[in-house]
């Protein structure tokens, strides 16, 4: 009887977790040439809402919530990024940072994620193949109440 109850409990737990639509977006920017240039933003959607956790440099992190509509807009922006536009691009630049966006559908499955990394991202990339990535970065920064200039 205990075995049947245990199997039933595990099955219910897995089904309930797979239906709760947990999504997370992890944004990181850093420049090894500039001390305290790190910007980290983590956006998490769960059953209780959508929360933004943000930290810039050596300052304390903070948290606030955003609407489901803003999260869906961001999610669609991320999904609009074409992998071929951001991979295998060799750029030569001095003193510039690395910008990463990682999107995952569930926290407990780390292999179920997509990660984009772009070096030397600049505001002038709106005229290049990286414009969708740049527009996504701008939206992430806006939702975290940061500016593009915060990326040193």
3-state secondary structure of 85: helix
pLDDT average, residue stretch 4-17: 41
Contacts 24+ apart (CB under 8 A), 7-13: none
Count the neighbouring beta carbons within 10 Å of the beta carbon of residue 72.
Answer: 13
Chain center to CA of 54: 11
**What's the confidence (pLDDT) of residue 8?**
39
Percentage of residues of the chain with pLDDT beyond 70: 79
**What's the confidence (pLDDT) of residue 17?**
44
Q: Is the pLDDT of residue 4 over 50?
A: no
Which DSSP helix (H) or strand (E) runs through 40? Answer: strand 39-46
Give Cβ neighbours of residue 25 (< 8 Å, ≥ 6 apart). Answer: 41, 42, 43, 44, 74, 75, 78, 101, 102, 103, 140
Confidence of residue 5 (pLDDT cuts 50, 70, 90): very low
């Amino acid at each position: 009887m205990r075995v049947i109850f245990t199997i039933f409990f595990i099955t219910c737990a897995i089904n309930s977790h797979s239906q709760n639509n947990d999504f997370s977006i992890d944004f990181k920017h850093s420049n090894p040439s500039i001390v305290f240039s790190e910007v980290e933003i983590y956006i998490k959607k769960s059953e209780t809402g959508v929360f933004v956790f943000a930290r810039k440099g050596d300052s304390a992190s903070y948290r606030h919530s955003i609407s489901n509509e803003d999260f869906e807009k961001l999610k669609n922006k991320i999904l609009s990024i074409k992998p071929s536009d951001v991979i295998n691009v060799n750029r030569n630049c001095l003193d510039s940072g690395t910008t990463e966006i990682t999107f995952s559908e569930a926290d407990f499955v780390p292999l179920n994620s997509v990660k984009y990394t772009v070096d030397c991202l600049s505001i002038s990339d709106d005229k290049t193949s990286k414009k969708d990535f740049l527009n996504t970065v701008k939206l992430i920064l806006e939702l975290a109440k940061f500016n593009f200039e915060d990326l040193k």
